[in-house]
Amino acid sequence: MAFRADEAAQDGYDEVEDYFVNRLQGLDEDQRTKSRHALRDIVDQIGPAINTYPTWHPLVWNHKNYRSPATTPSDRCGYQRLDHTRFFVNGFISCPYGDGADEIIASVAALPRHPAARLTAEKLDVKFYSTEAKPVLIKCEWEKHVSPGETIPLAIAMPLILQKEVPCSEWSEVAETWESMRHYLLGSPRGARSSLFLSQDAGQAVKKIWEALIYTGMFGPIKVDRTR
């Protein structure tokens, strides 16, 4: 089935709204409406809800284990006290309790500087998930222009992919095919060559470049899937 970005974005939004707003107990209808409007405004800023990030994305860039790359923000990427979290193309919302919000903000401030984006964190004056939670918005602010709600341009994504993947040639024993790598290069939800991060044209270009790289032999012999 072809990947339908609009449907994937709507499905993602519906799940996030249900998780953060519709299940909230102890709010009157005016407060719930405020939370719903705030969520919509945030989505307009940071893009549609997603399941996992491509490993080159600045929000998961700071993981240390190249053999087991991160695809969602966690302590593996340097974040502390994330709790009740939902992810979006250019940011995420986490809803910890107690002093967790301050710890999240401090951990974001302590992350190494990224060459292509600035990561920021701020407390939200709105109720998400629970009336006792303290929501925090973490944003990826690109150095080059990326239109809100649009996919990430190939000119931004491709250098980050190469910076992340080419060094793996120093230790890799086999070359992973596009089928096994598209989860890491496209994020999810995704189709065969596109996702909410990369358009069809950009994804096709990434596929061609990836296949050109693996056929150089720099990563080792191409891995054969013997389960088929």
| Residue 86: partners with Cβ closer than 8 Å, 6 or more residues away | 16, 19, 20, 49, 92, 93
For 31, the enclosing helix (H) or strand (E) is helix 29-46
The amino acid present at 142, given as its one-letter code, is W
Q: From CA 88, how far away is CA 51, in angstroms rounded?
A: 8
The Cα–Cα gap between 62 and 46 comes to 20
Question: What is residue 227's predicted lDDT score, i.e. its pLDDT?
Answer: 52
pTM of the model as a whole: 0.95
**Do 188 and 50 touch, CB atoms closer than 8 A?**
yes
Distance CA 216, CA 109 (A): 40
What count of Cα atoms within 13 Å lies in the side-chain half-sphere of residue 207? 18
- Give the count of alpha carbons within 13 A of 14, CB side only: 6
Q: How far apart are CA 85 and CA 205, in angstroms?
A: 32
Q: In what order do the strands lie in the sheet with 136-142?
A: 49-50, 85-88, 91-94, 136-142, 117-123
Whether the CA torsion 160, 164, 170, 174 is positive or negative: it is negative
Q: Is the peptide bond before 112 cis (omega within 30 degrees of 0)?
A: no
The tens-digit pLDDT sequence of the chain (228 residues) is: 468 989 999 999 999 999 999 999 888 899 999 999 999 999 999 999 999 999 999 999 998 777 789 999 999 999 999 999 999 999 999 999 999 999 999 999 999 999 999 999 999 999 999 999 999 999 999 999 998 778 999 999 999 999 999 999 999 999 999 999 999 999 999 999 999 999 999 999 999 999 999 999 999 999 876 554
Closest CA to 94 of 124, 125, 59: 124
**What amino acid occupies position 98?**
G
Rounded to an integer, what distance in angstroms lies between the CA atom of residue 226 and that of residue 168? 23
Contact status, residue 185 vs residue 56, Cβ threshold 8 Å = yes
Helix (H) or strand (E) holding 159: helix 154-165
